[in-house]
Amino acid sequence: MTVALLRWYEREARDLPWRRTRDPWAILVSEVMLQQTQAARVVPYYERFLARFPDPAACAAAPAAAVLRAWSGLGYNRRALALHRAAGVVAREGWPDDLSSLPGVGPYTAAAVASFAFGASVLAVDVNVRRVLSRRGLEVAEPSPQLNQALMELGATVCTARAPRCDVCPLAEGCEGPGGAAPRGRARARFEDTDRFVRGRVVAALAEGSSLPDVAPERLERALDGLERDGLIERSEGQLRLPGDALR
């Protein structure tokens, strides 16, 4: 299994910028950005973010507002604040032995950074890897950085959740496949109708100095309350700002 998968990965792996480095900061940035976001969308944000904040010290020294501006448009802005706090810890104390002690770093992200940056023999199990292992009934006895990357790539591009490409899978032999059609979920609301959309537009407006989104007052107020509660905006006497910015 391992040999076939690694050979496949050598042939088919996408050329992604975070795969060309072992810098723990660059890898942490990529892993935080990749949470719930497709790789192709992350690439330009990742490159711009690292150009602006090439190491933890540069990120920690910047105000939170600057980090949010660099992140704005990628979504899930709370991740940016967590990354900013993690940068502060690393800048002051260095990389901890337990990476999951960093703000915003859970078991998967800790394992990924440990593997890809520090060469640790630990299995990094994200949703794609879990799907591959479950469908194939596999257990990994000797994880490695290359094997982690291969499993992730297979799950992201071949062994997908809804339309697996079993005809080109290097692990197809002996695999029982996805086990039937994926269950139908409830119809999703349009993204533009969600609170997350309004929250993102508010942060983008404050980052760009533009007008707040033109939505119903109750939607806007709900978004502002949530953003203030999460530390993504500050407001005083009806004026708003990103953390550390001048009020407007």
pLDDT score, position 182: 46
- In this structure, the answer to whether residues 228 and 111 fall within a common structural domain is no
Tens digits of residue pLDDT in 124-178 = 999 999 999 999 888 898 999 999 999 999 999 999 998 999 999 999 887 877 7
Give the relative orientation of helices 24-34 and 78-93 as an angle to the nearest 10 degrees. 160
- Residue-range definition of the domain harbouring residue 197: 191-241
Q: Which of 135, 168, 201 is the last residue of a domain?
A: 168
Q: Is residue 180 part of a domain?
A: no
Q: Is residue 205 part of a domain?
A: yes
Least confident interval from 111-125, 179-193, 221-235: 179-193
- In this structure, the answer to whether residues 72 and 128 fall within a common structural domain is yes
- In this structure, the answer to whether residues 7 and 42 fall within a common structural domain is yes
Tens digits of residue pLDDT in 159-171 = 999 899 999 999 9
Confidence of residue 238 (pLDDT cuts 50, 70, 90): confident
For residue 231, give both structure tokens.
């530390």
- In this structure, the answer to whether residues 106 and 155 fall within a common structural domain is yes
Confidence of residue 246 (pLDDT cuts 50, 70, 90): low
pLDDT at 183 over 60: no
Q: Is residue 178 part of a domain?
A: no
pLDDT score, position 244: 78
Catalytic residues: 31
Average pLDDT over residues 25-33: 98
Q: Is residue 181 part of a domain?
A: no
- In this structure, the answer to whether residues 161 and 196 fall within a common structural domain is no
- In this structure, the answer to whether residues 55 and 147 fall within a common structural domain is yes
- In this structure, the answer to whether residues 146 and 109 fall within a common structural domain is yes
Give Cα 15 to chain centroid, integer Å.
18
In total, the chain counts a number of residues equal to 248
Least confident interval from 23-32, 39-48, 225-234: 225-234
Could you give the number of structural domains in the chain?
2
- Our CA angle for 36, 136, 169, nearest 5°, is 75
Q: Is residue 183 part of a domain?
A: no
> Which residue, chain included where needed, has tokens 């107020």?
221
- In this structure, the answer to whether residues 49 and 124 fall within a common structural domain is yes
pLDDT at 69 over 70: yes
Q: Is residue 222 part of a domain?
A: yes
In whole angstroms, how far apart are CA 188 and each of 185, 191, 193? 8, 8, 10
Cβ contact 93:86 at 8 Å:
no
Confidence of residue 181 (pLDDT cuts 50, 70, 90): very low
Average pLDDT over residues 63-89: 95
- In this structure, the answer to whether residues 28 and 68 fall within a common structural domain is yes
- Identify which has the larger pLDDT, 179 or 220: 220
- In this structure, the answer to whether residues 91 and 196 fall within a common structural domain is no
- In this structure, the answer to whether residues 114 and 223 fall within a common structural domain is no
Q: Is residue 247 part of a domain?
A: no
pLDDT at 105 over 50: yes
Q: Is residue 72 part of a domain?
A: yes
> Which residue, chain included where needed, has tokens 């119809």?
187
- In this structure, the answer to whether residues 195 and 72 fall within a common structural domain is no
HSE of 17, CA atoms in CB hemisphere, 13 A: 18
What 8-state DSSP symbol labels residue 214?
A: -
Least confident interval from 3-7, 102-106, 192-196: 192-196
- The rounded distance, in Å, linking the Cα atoms of 105 and 92 is 17
CATH at 47: 1.10.340.30
Confidence of residue 185 (pLDDT cuts 50, 70, 90): low
